[in-house]
Amino acid sequence: MGRSMDLQKRFLPGRLKAASSITPVGNEDNSSSMPEVDQPANWKEVLDGIRKMRSFEDAPVDSMGCEKAGSSFLQRSLGAIQRLHQNGMLAPDVIENVDEETIKKLIYPVGFYTRKACNMKKIAKICLKKYEGDIPSTLEELLLLPGIGPKMAHLVMNVAWNNVQGICVDTHVHRICNRLRWVSKPVTGKETSSPEETRKSLQLWLPKDEWVAINPLLVGFGQTVCTPLRPRCEMCSINHLCPSAFKETSSPVSRTKKAGRVKGSV
């Protein structure tokens, strides 16, 4: 139906090109004016270094084990979307009528499938009722959808609407920006404690023309090199610019400190 076509077109490159004339609204135009706070030293060099590392990674497909590539969260997610697509389930009217168990089975590999299947049905219903089968086009309306938080709302604004309201900060962007000391709490200067805090701090100085690119860049980097548990600092080309390099390489025993654990026996 026409409705499903509209929704799918939303994510096609052609549409992005057509929508590229839309001027980003929101803050001032960062490309010409000075940032409100000092930019971290060498931030451009750091970003360039990460870009280079990412381009090496993408070159030969066989440089990365197939098992590993196939088991990544991204691969599983893409697989799930493909299966949804093949079953016509990117259209709200189809999603609304299909059995929830069917959706669960299709998205199973991505995890949290019970709640996601439930939210998919709720969102499909809302999109049909309030948005003529399309998705909301403002940040505020996206955030009202069940299961859609700041990370996903900004991602949709960036990718689907080409209307940059903010940076899409996920756990990788959050972690890496703190390791680089690119973000901090306003008064104390300590590291930020949530992705939302990171987003606000990062937006104070990062030029707006990097706001969209930073997410895929740091996500890829965070999955392969700057991993949450044991970052591969030895193979990182910008370790000489990172204040956290080689400081988290020991066994992650400290993370298991969960309140004493003084259970008498055992």
Partner DNA sequence: GTCCCGACAC
Partner DNA sequence: GTGTCTGGAC
CB of 9 to DNA, least distance (A): 23
Q: Which of 138, 216, 205, 136 is nearest to 170 (CA)?
A: 216
Radius of gyration of the chain (CA): 21
Is 152 an interacting residue with respect to DNA (CB under 7 A)?
yes
Token representation of residue 244: 């956290």
CB of 35 to DNA, least distance (A): 25
Per CB under 7 A, which of residues 70..99 are in contact with DNA?
Answer: 71, 73
Annotation marks residue 44 as catalytic: no
b/e for 29-45, b at 16 or more Cβ within 10 A?
A: ebeeeeeeeeebeebee
Per-residue binder mask for DNA (CB under 7 A), 97-126, x = binder: -------------xxxxxx-----------
Is 150 an interacting residue with respect to DNA (CB under 7 A)?
yes
Token representation of residue 4: 């499903």
Question: Does residue 111 sit in helix, strand or coil?
Answer: coil
From 31-39, 86-94, 234-242, 251-259, give the range in contact with DNA by CB under 7 A. Answer: 251-259
Position of tokens 């940040």?
139
Under DSSP, the state recorded for 192 is P
Rounded Cα distance, 43 and 45, in Å: 5
Select the residue interacting with DNA from 10, 121, 175, 179 (CB under 7 A): 175
Yes or no: say if 31 and 157 are a contact pair by the CB < 8 Å rule.
Answer: no
Select the residue interacting with DNA from 61, 66, 229, 262 (CB under 7 A): 229
Is 8 an interacting residue with respect to DNA (CB under 7 A)?
no
- Give residue 23's region: left, alpha or beta (phi > 0; psi -120 to 50): beta
Of 194 and 249, the one with the shorter C-beta distance to DNA is 194
Rounded Cα distance, 52 and 193, in Å: 29
Per-residue binder mask for DNA (CB under 7 A), 51-70, x = binder: -----------------x--
Of 207 and 228, the one with the shorter C-beta distance to DNA is 228
Of 88 and 147, the one with the shorter C-beta distance to DNA is 147
Of 151, 190, 247, 257, the catalytic one is 151
Is 172 an interacting residue with respect to DNA (CB under 7 A)?
yes
Rounded Cα distance, 262 and 175, in Å: 30
Contact positions toward DNA, by CB under 7 A?
68, 71, 73, 110-115, 146-153, 170-172, 175, 193-195, 228-229, 252, 255-256, 258
- Residues belonging to the active site: 151
